[in-house]
Structure 1
């Protein structure tokens, strides 16, 4: 019996692995066919970077959050801003169509380095920078490490402080070596896009998800193996990276606007922005009553107003 069982495993495991890899590749091919790159590809020191550029006016870089891509920003916010800004939206490493920097999780500082150089290559030497959620941490790293390559900062629902609590189980598994090798391909191969769509709906709460957002955002892009691995590694390292960056917020000297919804349960206002406003000299905090995590969709006018204030304070409007 033992010999038969081992023989069965010897046949079944390779077959299951082959089917999984085939299904995962098929899912990824469909995702990339349905949601191709929106913009242009740059070569930044051997790393392929995807950027979307639209509009005219002062340069403004928009940085998306975890599990996202340029599509989160180009759905509504970037087109609205393009009426009076030259908007640059860049995929962070491993997400959308920007390549991973490494397999250990590109740090927020490494990401800021890459995005700042990409912006420079696009002619934006000292842009305004807005970062949402995880992207807010990257924007803060940009302001700390590249003070001569930024004109103003908008931290939108930004992760900025050390918090209590352990890494969620999902990220603990998918960021591990075994999880990355075995679990991630299974998710890519067999988890339907609707699971991601449901998660997106939850992130928008208490506001409803905008009509047409899921179809535009491309949930299947999030389920690709490269994106899941990059996002998991980045998320698992974020707490310690913020612990290192946080003592340097006092060095940020550019005009800074902080915008945060009072009903944000993903990145809590009291944990993050209400502390950040006292750590950056001259920073101004705008609280959005009843607004959740996706303020750039739920309170777009208020977010644009904050950008305009930063631009005015920086002498760009």
Structure 2
């Protein structure tokens, strides 16, 4: 009988222990949230915005601008910011001959990302298109890296008559099954994502961030400029973690929305890929895109990884020059009549 009494009391004791642990867990999570919030504010104090702001469709966008001449618009990948192009040297090299505008895409860097819409590549392109209109930018060459390449394609497909050409670097263009989508989308979820991005995700990012950066650059080492100038803490702010999670979750749907429309694209394009890329499969992505585009060249860097603009900035600038020479010599009236906006998909 005594044994039976003890058996009935143990689960109750265990339950009380678990209940007692809840306030402790809540306290720890609260402390983590406050700590990460304060770290984010300190990080921003140490890395104030270097550029200007423009409001487009109710969204405040931060951008860097330098140079004069034919405009070139730069769109960064997931997790990065406009300064990524400055760190690589591409921004400054292009500014010697062009008016260069590098945006912080919505939610990254110092750009806002309101919750009143789903931030697909198409939605981001619409906001950036309005920002370019306000800045008086006509017929730009649009350069996009990685996730930014999808936004660049959406811009060109939506308004080909106002796009001189595209330079697409290490992009993701066709929907595929990806494990990283399931693993890295959590911070973009409502409620649960808010909890993660203010508590455990910044800690995990500090632990795993250096490994992931090495994977981005592999098989080459991370450049000294990136190691010294890129702020991992800026990338791990809760606001940017939300944007990263949402972009990851929307990557496959955004590519799927684009995939059937590529043959209608009439603007000249250079598709640049890296043979050593460990983030995207260049055969299923860059080669396949090149085969679908009507006016494109495929440039492959044999020894580089995903961060191709850091490895061969001079080649990226050369690609812009090729597009500039091809596009600006052609009057708008010479573009095929099929270059109209295609919403059939």
Assess same fold via TM > 0.5.
Answer: yes
Structure possessing the higher radius of gyration over alpha carbons: 2
TM-score by length of structure 1 reads: 0.93
1:187, 1:7 → 2: CA distance?
22
- For structure 2, which runs of at least 5 residues remain unmatched after alignment? 1-12, 331-345
Q: Which of 81, 91, 96 is matched with 2:104 structurally?
A: 91
**How many residues end up aligned between the 2 structures?**
317
SS of corresponding position for 1:22: helix
Q: Which residue in the other structure is 1:262 paired with? A: 275
Return the offset for 1:188. 5.1
1:45, 1:227 → 2: CA distance?
20
Q: Which residue in the other structure is 2:306 paired with? A: 293
Return the offset for 1:224. 1.0
Shift of the 4–67 alpha-carbon distance from structure 1 to 2, 3 Å rule, reads same
After superposition, residues 196-275 of structure 1 pair within 5 angstroms as 196-275=209-288
Q: Which of 121, 133, 141 is matched with 2:134 structurally?
A: 121
Answer yes or no: is the 8 Å Cα contact 2:188–2:246 preserved in 1. Answer: yes
After superposition, residues 1-317 of structure 1 pair within 5 angstroms as 1=13, 5=17, 8-9=20-21, 11-75=23-87, 76-102=89-115, 105-177=118-190, 179-187=192-200, 190-191=203-204, 193=206, 195-315=208-328
Answer yes or no: is the 8 Å Cα contact 2:215–2:278 preserved in 1. Answer: no
Answer yes or no: is the 8 Å Cα contact 2:29–2:199 preserved in 1. Answer: no
Give RMSD over aligned pairs.
Answer: 2.1
Runs of at least 4 residues of structure 1 off by over 6 A? none
Greater CA deviation, 98-107 or 128-137? 98-107
1:26, 1:188 → 2: CA distance?
15
Answer yes or no: is the 8 Å Cα contact 1:49–1:91 preserved in 2. Answer: yes
Return the offset for 1:179. 3.7
2:49, 2:157 → 1: CA distance?
30
Shift of the 287–243 alpha-carbon distance from structure 1 to 2, 3 Å rule, reads same
Shift of the 7–239 alpha-carbon distance from structure 1 to 2, 3 Å rule, reads closer
- For structure 1, which runs of at least 5 residues remain unmatched after alignment? none
